[in-house]
Amino acid sequence: MSQLQDAVFRALADPTRRGLFERLCRQGDTTVVGLLADAGVSQPVVSKHLKILKAAGLVHDRHEGRYTYYSARREALGTLVDWTTEMAGFWQDRFDDLDDLLKRMDQ
């Protein structure tokens, strides 16, 4: 159905990509070289994965001189939570204020 939903699920399906997103969630604002360290793949591959994550709205990039700083857009996880919630079909109320919460989280 949802175009965005599909992009998010697809983006997170790859372990390397999930790894990158995880690191960005933990440490936020990191350059490509910074991520390259534990990525286990080459720099072009990292850039490519970041591009996919960005397309899914999971990541944001900020250019500063010759550096590009990437950061996790955690609100994008709302898509995941929404879907999971719908599937579970319960405890909707528990998540009702999630969006606001996530918005507050992203500065």
Considering the rule CB under 7 A, would residue 73 count as an interface residue with DNA?
A: no
Does 27 bind DNA (CB under 7 A)? Our answer is: no
Q: Position of tokens 């490519």? A: 48
Q: What are phi and psi of 71, to 5 degrees?
A: -145, 155
Residue 44 touching DNA (CB under 7 A): yes
Least spacing, CB of residue 34 vs a second copy, in Å: 18
- The verdict on 89 binding a second copy (CB under 8 A) reads yes
Query: 63 or 91: whose CB is closer to a second copy?
Result: 91
Segment lying near DNA (by CB under 7 A), choices 10-18, 72-80, 84-92, 97-105: 10-18
Integer angstrom CA distances of residue 27 from 22, 23, 68, 72, 92: 9, 6, 15, 9, 30
Instruction: Verify binding: residue 43, DNA, rule CB under 7 A.
Output: yes
Query: How many other CB atoms sit within 10 Å of the CB of residue 53?
Result: 27
